[in-house]
């Protein structure tokens, strides 16, 4: 029953799918940063949220999409207010890059009242499992997880996984 239910849910998600964006960081790598470095990039949640928004902006640029984009994040993280302040104080040229041209281009919503966030949780779970598999078995040539295939996502789209070397590059300049 569970497999049937997930397949049906995946079909529904696929109908609304335009592009998937995901960003992750290895918490153990983040923990190894200095306090100064952690302060500069914020919490892991803040860092991957901004990185995911960056992936969306880059995609919109490549596709020449000019319409405003609403960034919606799930309510309940301790960084909700800090993330909101960050997005509301973005420089004008970055607002254009992120397509945040509307006054309310950023929102924090309760997923119980926001079905797209419930669907994104399903995708987030599958992405996390796939990323964990790839990290634990980097030379494993197995095909991607069947559950991701069931979502009918032809490629991994814009999925960014930041490892320690990538984190340290931020501070190299």
Has residue 167 got a pLDDT over 80? no
The residue written with tokens 């970055």 in the block is: 94
- φ, ψ for residue 69, nearest 5 deg: -115, 135
- The token pair at 21 is 């964006």
Task: Check if the beta carbon of residue 73 is closer than 8 Å to that of residue 83.
Answer: yes
* Model confidence pLDDT, tens digit, residues 93-130: 888 888 887 777 888 888 888 877 777 777 777 777 77
Tell me the chain's radius of gyration from C-alpha atoms: 17
d(CA 62, CA 138): 29
- Is the model's pTM score more than 0.95? no
Mean pLDDT, residues 29-51: 89
d(CA 165, CA 32): 11
Report the pLDDT value the prediction gives residue 158, as an integer from 0 to 100. Answer: 58
């Amino acid at each position: 029953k569970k497999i049937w239910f997930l397949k049906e849910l995946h079909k529904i998600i696929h109908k609304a799918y335009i592009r998937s964006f995901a960003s992750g960081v290895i918490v153990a790598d983040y923990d190894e940063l200095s306090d100064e470095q952690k302060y500069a990039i914020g919490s892991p949640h803040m860092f991957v949220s901004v990185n995911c928004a960056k992936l969306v902006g880059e995609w919109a640029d490549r596709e020449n999409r000019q319409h405003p984009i609403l960034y919606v994040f799930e309510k309940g993280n301790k960084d909700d207010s800090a993330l909101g302040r960050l997005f509301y104080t973005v420089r004008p040229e970055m607002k254009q890059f992120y397509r945040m041209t509307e006054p309310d281009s950023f929102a924090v919503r309760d997923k119980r009242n926001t079905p797209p966030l419930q669907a994104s949780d399903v995708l987030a779970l599958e992405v996390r499992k796939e990323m964990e598999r790839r990290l634990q078995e980097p030379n494993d040539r197995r095909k991607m997880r069947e559950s991701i295939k069931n979502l009918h996502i032809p490629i991994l789209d814009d999925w960014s996984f930041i490892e320690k070397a990538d984190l340290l590059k931020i501070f190299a300049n």
